[in-house]
A and B are shown apart, each in its own frame.
Chain A
Amino acid sequence: MSKSEILERYARMARSAGAHVEFITADDLPGRLAPILFELAQSCNPAPTGSAWPRVAALPASGWPQGLRESVEIILTASGYETIMPRKTPDGYTWDRDRLAGASIGITWCEQFLADTGSLILPAGPGMGTLAALLPEVHLALSYAEGCRAALADYLRERGTVLPSRLTLVTGPSRTGDIECTMTEGVHGPRKVMHFILGGVDPETPL
């Protein structure tokens, strides 16, 4: 498969699993992110209180490409959002869990993702903050198009047998069909998963 075929397959599989996938350039990021943050702050929290979502965003502290986290933080601040991150201590990193649990959006860097199943790969590590992709209502992942791998087998081959303490594959939102087989999103994890792929051209958009 060619690179664009692999990306095309990724987009198709991730979308069929319920994820929102967009191909943008790094310059587009503020223009695309700001409206999402605005809309989220306006939208109503379905539970527990029914009030508006708080303007709090959770970000991992490490693993970002040079300068990107800072760019995201600037957009967040400009949109009136408070940013929370794993805090560095002498023993390593630590989350303020109560504040994390109240965040409305988690924005994470996703180094690699899988075309075959439409999955994001989230490895654990100091400051990698994968809880930012789990506890908030919305998870937004950012990647470079180069991070796309054909299948889990390829990724694991590349990695070898040294695995992180936790390696999580995320494919679409958290969902359940446990009541009357009615598919419902957001039972424990994010109700919505969005993925912005930087530097790639949407294979579905004609050039």
Chain B
Amino acid sequence: MNDRPHDFRQASVSAVADEVLGAAIRKTADILLSRRAASVAELEGFEDLRDWGRRRKLEVSGRLEEYAREFANRVEAAGAIVHFARDAAEATDIAAAIVGKRGVRAAVKSKSMTAEEISLNEAMQQAGVAVTETDLGEFIIQLAGEKPSHILAPAIHKDRDQVAELFSRTLGTPPGLDVGGLVCAARKTLRDRFITAQIGITGANFAVAETGTLVLVTNEGNGRMTTTLPPVQIAIVGIDKIIPKISDLPGFLTLLTRSATGQAISSYVTIITGPRKPGEEEGPEELHVVLLDNGRTPLACGPFREILHCLHCGACLNQCPVYRAVGGHAYQSVYPGPMGDVLSPLLWGMTAYPDLPDACTLCGRCAEVCPVKIPLPEYHRSLRILRTGDQTQWTAGATAAIASNPLLYRSSLGLLRQILAHPKALLNGRTGGTLEAWTTCRELPRAQAGPGFRTWWRKQRGVL
């Protein structure tokens, strides 16, 4: 990670100005939101399921180390090799050692945010391994050398003509392919890489403690290919992905896919318990599970514990008025949107992401759609307080003092009416720019013409 603080405010200025990006983000977000809404409405008891999901996640985050140990034991019993990684550096060292030992040159990877979190691709590159992203969106932005703009649809900021040009330049396809042709071209290229890859790299959407099972959810089938064709699989699993029992899986799958894309289930759910068994013709001979902490254990004991419950469905992003205006790039983090505003400063430090908690209007829409009811608006507020100290007490005290003194209250109302009558003339240039930042893009409410409420009320009382 870069030591320089990430400046969201500055990055968002250029992001807002990019109208193509904005339109693409809002189109995608609207499609996903309307599918989610329809899907949730059709299912009886989705609200109860959200409460259930939160309770099950609280159970795990309350005893995280215990569950991590149980999961690790079960994974080993199933024949896989478990590695514990305290931080990103340990995790990438483990992965580098595995590929080094086997002389791996080519890897295929199924989209994983946890792998992004530890910058695994860069580490693999240094170890001399060419990693191919196999999710179509991730493949496109990998070819373009760009960053994802949406966690579910990473290449949504590129239109078909841009992708056709990119494929023609990098893969040598004929120019001007339509979407179907582009998908076919990607299928051909990626099919070859799947067959020849010496290793498959994945994350996990869920890790079941009771059975040592990894669960991968994809629509394209790349998760299935990555975990069936190469002879070795490395799964990078954050310990927050653990769920207690296999009987918890159906509920969590429903919460995830309905919240993410509105599907009753994704096209493929791959449920992996250990490597290939004797006599089987498919699946990796060797399965490595890298259990990543990277700051999660301390989070589980602190006031932001529930951020670990996140299923990475992306519903909060689609709802967020700030995300919808700026898109994913401006956040400069693997984790964008409301959940990222909270998680990025907690994982990488407030000094690295000082203004992300400000990327929020506290409107509360993210909390309304979160499948496990993470109190995201409260967390944003708490992070601001953590950063600047609690200033609510003196402002509340001052307001109380003014309101409880009739003379003071009346005169400050009069003053306020004067200010609101001529806001710019009175404020600009007199407040050292503090209020100008507000008034350049906002209108203060206009003072109503006429005598004002108190004068009017006195008259009414006279009439009555």
Contacts and interface: CB of A to CB of B under 8 A. Distances in A.
A106 interface: no
B211 A163 contact: yes
Interface stretch (A27-35, A72-80, A140-148, A184-192): A184-192
B221 interface: yes
Contacts of B227: 166
Given A48-B184, A171-B267, A165 B272 contact: yes
Contact of B267 (A127, A152, A172, A181): A172
B155 A126 contact: no
B45 interface: no
A170 B268 contact: yes
Contact of B156 (A116, A134, A181): A181
A188 B247 contact: no
B221 A174 contact: yes
Most buried by A among B135, B159, B268: B268
A129 B160 CA distance: 36
B163 A179 contact: yes
Interface residues on B, range: 35 or more
Interface in B399-456: none
Contact of B273 (A165, A179, A187): A165
B434 to A, nearest CB: 42
Contact of B246 (A92, A125, A156): A156
B179 A163 contact: no
B265 A171 contact: yes
Contacts of B159: 180
B228 A170 contact: no
A46 B190 contact: no
B225 A134 contact: yes
Given A130-B228, A174-B219, A187-B183, A165 B188 contact: no
7 A-B pairs with the lowest CB-CB distances in the bound complex, closest first: A92-B279, A47-B184, A189-B221, A178-B137, A126-B279, A117-B265, A93-B281
Interface of B: 27-28, 31, 78, 134-137, 140, 153-156, 158-160, 163, 179-188, 190-191, 194-195, 210-211, 213, 219-222, 224-225, 227-229, 246-247, 249-250, 253, 263-283
